[in-house]
Structure 1
Amino acid sequence: MFSQALMLAIFCVSYYFILSGRFKSSVMVFLMGLIVAFMKIVEDMSLENLSQFIDFNTIGLLAGMMIIVGLLKSTGFFQFVAVYAVKMGRGDIRKTLSLIVISIALLSAFLDNVTTILIFAPILLFISDTVGIDAKYLMVTGIIASNLGGASTMIGDPPNIIIGSASKLSFNSFIIHLAPVCILILMLMLFIWFRKMNSDESMREKIKKLATTDPKSAIIDKKKMIALLFVFLGVIFGFALHEVLDYEMALISMAGATIALVIYGKSFEEAAKEVEWDTLFFLIGLFMITYAMRKVGLIDYLTNVISKVHSPIILMTTLIWFSGILAMFLSAVPTVIIMIPVVQTLLLMGFTPVIWWALSLGASLGANGTTIGAAVNIVGVSLLGKYGGGTVRFVSYMKRAAPITLLMLLIANIYVIFIYLTGW
């Protein structure tokens, strides 16, 4: 009982640091994980058993992709895509913004969401300044598009990477089951948000002038860009065939990163600059805390409550909305790490594997609802304040994002029930 109370206290302290922002949350959460190990609350948390409580498949996959994406970004490829999307709009504000939002979602499906918003934020803010559209409106749209794209694949955002590693579901299965509903929601969002947006003559002229920029001018090193694109596509192809090849996705990701370093002529020390160490250590700390919570029986309480729901449809509905609301206020990654042991126990009790999709969609889509739902939300809001677009407060963001987030969760709820009833 004492160990349970102690772990609950450590958990609450960890989330105080995550939500308060008084200290670097990644450092504090990792410190809490180390404290758990030092206090020996769980006896088998030792270096010999490191792989039992830290998911190195997730860490390796993320680190490898961070290196590849970082090197590809330095060639100017993503800037090229952003400028090209503006050019394709040809002066029509609705078409231009739709293409930018679709580009954000598409890139976020295979890249780190934070990288995507860092690339497109200057474009969104420049359009805001040029044509007089509210920068807050555009940034919130970009953030949601990034989260939607990330939710559509196994490697698009950390929650799905973690679920993929825990569930052993394939890369292809994630795309087949999650991409359709994410595309549907994205198209619905574009229709709802941009349907009344029309360009006056002055706005059209400004957009046309913006569209005259040559996308090729954004490319810094064409030869390396092409070579790294082949590596990136090769890694994605490897992910698609990882079950057939019988290789862990982390191994494929790290192999791709190493080849990319050879092509670019960089060392691992130089590549370290491309790795988001805060994200990796944040995850390691959470893995340690959650493992200890599971071992002392705290996760069992949550499992026991949810397992009392005997109807699979009601269970999936509960998972989507519970994980969705939790992700809004505790962030998607912690929500997923907490809920994975619950889902694994439910599967052992005979429930359908479709509940993995309920958890994935609930956490990934629910993260759109607040400024702290995902890392990309925090970064996007920070960029808005940094570059003069105005400060978005927690409540102000919720007013803009929560209604569309609740609609997303409702659509996801119907969609997951459809998957279950059809046996898809």
Structure 2
Amino acid sequence: MSFIRRSARSSDSGVGGIRVNPNRQKSSSNLAAQVSQESCFSESSPLLGFTFSNETLEEGSKKSDKLDADYDGDDGDDDVFESSVKQTGWKSRLNQLKIALIFVLILVCSGFIATQAELEDKWHQFVVNKDNPTVLEIPVGNTKAPIVKLQIQAPFSSGINQSVSEGDTVVNFKLNNDTFKLDLNLTLLHGGIISMESHQFACHKADNNSCLVHVDTNSSVPIPFLYSYSVLANNVDHEIVYALIVLILVYVLIVLELVHRTLAALLGSLAAVAVLSALGQRPTMETLVSWIDMETLALLFGMMIIVAIFAESGFFDYCALKAYQLAKGQVWPLITLLCLFSAVVSAFLDNVTTILLLTPVTIRLCEVLNLDPRRILVAEVLFSNIGGTATAIGDPPNVIILGAVSKQGISFSDLTVHLTIGIILIAVVGYGFLRIYYRKVEFLKNEESPEIMELRHEIGLWKKASLRISAVTREESVMKALILQKTAELENALSRSLHKRRKAEKKDFHSTLLELQKKYRIRDHWLLVKSGCVLLVVILLLFVHSFIPSLHVGIGWIAVLGAVWLLVLADVTDLESILHQVEWSTLLFFAALFTLMEALSELGLIDGIGSAISDIIKHVDEDSRLLVALCIIVWVSALASSFIDNIPYTTAMIPVLLKLSEDPDLKLELLPLVIALAFGACLGGNGTLIGASANVVCAGIAEQHGWGISFREFFKIGFPMMLVTVAVATVYLIVCHVAIGWNT
């Protein structure tokens, strides 16, 4: 049974209330009775903090049932935790309709996938030179006007169909009036380095049920090629439309919160694979697995393990106390400190790691100050994404850009200097916007007293704990009964507090600090030393691994190795309790999202965006071409990165920018183009909850602590912040690269 958190409304008498679900309480009573019949149970549970017996369980169940009876006649209060199965009327019918429609969609997608064979690439070889052109015969059967997808492996230079200078080695693939031209690099040929390119041909006329692709080159040296082909469906021309429909479907599910965002991503990836299957391009299971960025998943998994063990030392509680002491209990100094720290650290460390470390501290600190953690966390993650844009290693798109343009003479320092100056201005304006948006401090505070909020939060955690226990054995049944009893007593205490209209006493800073010092302290100094040393080594390796060629481990390996080190050093015996703190739903969401984005890329959505940008820039007058190019690249990149993953988008846009910069007729420098791409792709991640990896990680950790961040809550502050920061970035690009001409 799942429970939905809802805010309590005041009744006519002005008193907030809570209604305990009668179905759940009855099950608790039955379970307690079952336990009492099986054995005489009486023990002291350190987990629950007091002694339980059979009489205690039965008494608590009776109190809960009595509380339900008292509340059933009160129409003024809403359920704070309402069972999803307790729906009546039109809401229940809409819910059943939603389930039916989604299930029909799943059945249709499953049918397309099950009835189409997997597309396995079978590679063939041929050799060509200028004296011996060749013809590739591709069988298409009885298909009328088929679309042929040709994949070629050879030592290609970057850029496709780009302008060719005299003396360059090129190869032409011709089918009817369509010519696919590629530039060859003979140096790569001698080094055995090959790359793969693909192109789709429309075969209007087939000879003997075959399409003939003519291949020629201007090279006098014989050049070997590998090629594979696949015959696609006739309606493949509409694949971008299908991709947009799938993307819109995913966002409708997430925005309207019809299903959990992880399930929405799974449904979207299933639909995208089904579309590929319907078009004759069903990927193999190995291909689907290769689409998942295992490096990112390993980083998240390893850091979640480290943070879970680190939290047991009491370090995050202690940090919250020190931050409260440093800010002297004031809200805005605290927010400023958190945002500044988040931005600076994210400039040198992966922002996902930064958010993994900061989120638990922030939640604990907000609970101390009786603030709503969701609003503070959103501000924190926004500045983490802004700070990550400042350097060439702070955000994944910047790393991809640096790796692609380093051979073009653009160094790490070139990118970092241009980005950092702009980010400083953007951060200042973004902070000003945040102060205006959060100008009312009351907006950041919880409406109820800290005691009430703590009770509500604790009830939610106990209920979540009871749902995780499967009552298979007798001991598990007893434990679940104890947890349900604890929940019932907390609900009873909350009810009494609400009906007595108990208000929080206003305490001064010093008295609050003294109280917090007694409550929040380091619980295990030896564990703190072990965890701190391991975390320090992991952070150091994450920062320097890209600068040490002899270090053959990526960020995923570093995080996983750090987690294994700490598991051994901390002498963890109860591994299940640590694994319970891993955000499995977040990891599954990323896996589904990677699959979805790669499938959309296969459908041509991202390449279509890049081609549209290129076509627009080419038709602009020379005098204003750079201005228009910068504006289009930064804004299209920002909007696209808000709704699709910025990593595949950046990967697809780099060849487009290289092609534009290498075209002698356009006269565009590469540096301003990639700077605009970096600003757009990184800052655009602030637009929506799934626009950046750090956003999803922050929402997942917050949800685990009982403070779920919805898509709409993030969008209300994230999208305006994205518009403001991208506008500042646009002005900076125009001043530096158009007005001043700082293009080197």
Give the structure-1-normalised TM-score: 0.73
For the residue of structure 2 that corresponds to 1:356, the secondary structure is helix
| Alpha carbons of structure 1 residues 18 and 87: separation in structure 2 relative to 1, 3 Å | same
Aligned length: 410
Which amino acid counterpart does residue 256 of structure 1 have in structure 2? I
TM-aligned CA distance change 1:417 to 1:64, over 3 Å: farther
1:182: which partner in 2? Answer: 423
Q: After superposition, where does 1:254-265 map in structure 2 within 5 Å? A: 254-257=556-559, 259-260=561-562, 263-264=565-566
Mapped to 2, the partners of 1:238 and 1:297 lie a distance apart of 35
What corresponds to 2:387 in structure 1? 149
Corresponding residue for residue 541 of structure 2 = 234
Write the deviation string for residues 196-255 of structure 1: whole angstroms up to 9, x where unpaired: 7899x956447745874767558744224313422431331122x26xx3888xx43355
CA–CA distance in 1 between the matches of 2:295 and 2:521?
Answer: 31
Counterpart CA distance in 2 for 1:38 and 1:136 is: 41
Point out where structure 1 has 5 or more consecutive residues left out of the alignment. none
- Partner secondary structure for residue 106 of structure 1: helix
Structure 2 residue ranges without an equivalent (≥5): 1-233, 443-505, 569-574
Q: What does residue 460 of structure 2 align with?
A: none
CA distance in 1, matches of 2:539, 2:654: 29
What does residue range 173-212 of structure 1 map to in structure 2 within 5 Å? Answer: 175-191=416-432, 193-194=434-435, 204-205=509-510, 208=513, 212=517
The answer to whether the 8 Å contact 2:703/2:709 transfers is: yes
Contact 1:130 1:206 in 2 (8 A): no
The yes-or-no answer on 1:319 pairing with 2:560 is no
Query: 2:332 matched to 1:94?
Result: yes
In 1, Cα distance between the equivalents of 2:509 and 2:430? Answer: 23
Q: CA deviation at 1:29?
A: 4.1
Contact 1:108 1:116 (C-alpha < 8 Å) held by counterparts: yes
Matches for 1:275-294 after TM superposition, within 5 Å: 276-293=587-604
The answer as to whether partners of 1:328 and 1:373 remain within 8 angstroms in 2 is yes
CA distances 1:273-306 after superposition (whole Å, capped 9, x unpaired)? 6883432442243124314417996753443234
CA contact (8 A) 1:3 1:296 kept: no
| In structure 2, C-alpha distance between the alignment counterparts of 1:110 and 1:333, rounded to whole Å | 19
Please identify, of 126-135 and 348-357, the stretch whose mean Cα deviation from structure 2 is larger. 126-135
Indicate conservation of the 8 Å contact 1:10/1:32, yes or no. Answer: no
Task: From the CA coordinates, give the structure whose radius of gyration is larger.
Answer: 2
How much has 1:316 moved relative to structure 2? 0.8
Distance 2:235 2:416 in 1: 44
1:17 matches 2:250:
yes
Q: 2:682 is aligned with what amino acid? A: S
Q: Specify the code of the residue in structure 2 equivalent to 1:2.
A: N
Structure 1 residues 165 and 288: CA distance shift in structure 2, 3 A: farther
Q: Which moved more, 1:407-416 or 1:184-193?
A: 184-193
Identify the residue that residue 415 of structure 1 maps to in structure 2.
732
Aligned AA for 1:264? L
- Indicate if the aligned counterparts of 2:401 and 2:650 stay in contact, CA closer than 8 A: yes
The question of 1:140 aligning with 2:378 is answered yes
Relative to structure 1, is the Cα distance of residues 232 and 342 closer, same or farther in structure 2, using a 3 angstrom cutoff? same
Q: Higher relative contact order by CA 8 Å / sep ≥ 6: 1 or 2? A: 1
Residues 165 and 411 of structure 1: CA distance in aligned 2, closer, same or farther (over 3 Å): same
Gap change, CA 1:291 and 1:223, over 3 Å in 2: same
- Distance across 2 between alignment mates of 1:306 and 1:210: 63
Q: Secondary structure at the match of 2:671?
A: coil
Alignment check: 8 A CA contact 1:109 1:153 kept: yes
- Cα offset, 1:119, TM superposition: 4.9
Higher helix share: 1
| Contact 1:148 1:186 (C-alpha < 8 Å) held by counterparts | yes
Give 1:315 shift.
0.7
Is the alpha carbon distance of 1:414 and 1:246 closer, same or farther for their aligned partners in structure 2, counting shifts above 3 Å? Answer: farther
- By how many angstroms is 1:9 displaced? 0.7
> Using a 3 Å threshold, how does the CA distance of structure 1 residues 18 and 342 change in structure 2: closer, same or farther?
farther
Question: Deviations along 1:68-125, whole A, 9 cap, x unmatched?
Answer: 5334423428836665544433444433222222222234445565565465445545
Structure 1 CA distance, aligned partners of 2:550 and 2:661?
24
CA contact (8 A) 2:321 2:365 kept: no
Q: Any conservation in 1 of the 2:391–2:416 contact (CA below 8 Å)? A: yes
User: Which residue of structure 2 aligns with residue 252 of structure 1?
Assistant: 554
Contact preservation (8 Å) 1:26, 1:281: yes
Return 81-90 or 353-362, whichever deviates more: 81-90
Structure (1/2) with the larger strand percentage: 2
Matches of 2:701 and 2:583, distance apart in 1: 19
Within the alignment, does 1:69 sit opposite 2:303 as a pair? yes
* Aligned-partner SS, 1:422: coil
Quick check: 1:37–1:46 contact (8 Å CA) kept in 2?
Answer: no
Query: Quick one: structure 1 residues 246 and 126, their matched pair in 2 at CA, closer, same or farther if it must change by over 3 Å?
Result: closer
TM-score by length of 2: 0.45
**Counterpart contact for 2:683–2:722, Cα < 8 Å:** yes
Deviation at 1:361, TM superposition (A): 1.3
Supply the distance in 1 between the matched residues of 2:538 and 2:641 (Cα, whole angstroms).
Answer: 34
CA distance in 2, matches of 1:415, 1:211: 45
Distance 1:70 1:389 in 2: 18
Q: Contact 1:86 / 1:100 at 8 angstroms: preserved in 2?
A: no
**Identity percentage over the alignment?**
21
The answer on whether the counterparts of 2:359 and 2:698 sit within 8 Å (CA) in structure 1 is yes
- Map 1:113-128 → 2, pairs under 5 A: 113=351, 116-117=354-355, 119-121=357-359, 123-125=361-363, 127-128=365-366
Contact 2:319 2:361 in 1 (8 A): no
- Name the CA distance, whole Å, in 1 between partners of 2:290 and 2:329: 50
Structure 2 counterpart of 1:412, which letter? Answer: A
Structure 1 residue 342, shift from structure 2 partner: 3.9
Amino acid at match of 1:229: L
Would you say the 8 A contact 1:385–1:392 is kept in 2? no
Q: What CA distance in whole angstroms lies between the structure 1 residues aligned with 2:403 and 2:294?
A: 11
Task: Check conservation: 2:362, 2:373, Cα contact below 8 A.
Answer: yes
Structure 1 290/224 Cα, relative in aligned 2: closer, same or farther at 3 Å? same
Per-residue deviation at 1:5? 0.3
Residues 423 and 42 from structure 1, CA distance in 2 versus in 1: closer, same or farther, beyond 3 angstroms? same
The alpha-carbon distance between structure 1 residues 299 and 326, as it changes in their structure 2 partners (threshold 3 A), is closer
Q: Retained in 2: the 8 A contact 1:29–1:286?
A: no
The amino acid that maps onto 1:423 is N
Residues 287/28 of structure 1: CA separation in 2 closer, same or farther (3 Å cut): same
